[in-house]
Amino acid sequence: MARRPLIAGNWKMHKNHLEGVQLTQKLAWALSREDTDAVEVAVCPPFTALRSVGTLIDGDKLPIALGAQDCHPEAQGAYTGEISASMLAKLGVQYVIVGHSERRQYAGEDDELVNRKARAVLGADMRPIVCVGEVLEERESGRTAEVVQGQVRGSLAGLSGDQVAGLVVAYEPVWAIGTGRAATADDAQETIAVIRSTVADLVGQGAADELRIQYGGSVKSSNAEELATKPDVDGALVGGASLDADEFALIVTGSARRAR
Comparison of 132 and 203: residue with beta carbon closer to ligand PEP: 132
Residue 134 appears among annotated catalytic residues: no
Rounded least distance, CB 103 to ligand PEP, Å: 11
Out of 40, 102, 109, 172, the active site residue is: 172
Comparison of 135 and 200: residue with beta carbon closer to ligand PEP: 135
Query: Looking at the chain, how many residues does it have?
Result: 260
Where on the chain is the footprint of ligand PEP (CB under 6 A)?
Answer: 10, 12, 172, 177-178, 216-219, 237-241
Element (H, E) at 214: strand 212-216
Out of 72, 100, 109, 134, the active site residue is: 100
Contact 49, 16 (CB under 8 A): yes
Q: Given CA atoms 60, 212, 176, 154 in this order, what sign does their dihedral have?
A: positive
Comparison of 31 and 129: residue with beta carbon closer to ligand PEP: 129
Rounded least distance, CB 185 to ligand PEP, Å: 15
Residue 100 appears among annotated catalytic residues: yes
Q: How far is the CA of 243 from the CAs of 41, 99, 121, 142, 218, in angstroms?
A: 14, 21, 25, 33, 13
Rounded least distance, CB 191 to ligand PEP, Å: 14
d(CA 90, CA 85): 9
Comparison of 203 and 238: residue with beta carbon closer to ligand PEP: 238
Nearest residue to ligand PEP by CB is 239
Beta-carbon neighbour count of residue 4 at 10 Å? 12
Rounded least distance, CB 179 to ligand PEP, Å: 7
Q: What is the dihedral of CA 203, 237, 139, 70, to 10 degrees?
A: -70
What residues act catalytically? 100, 172
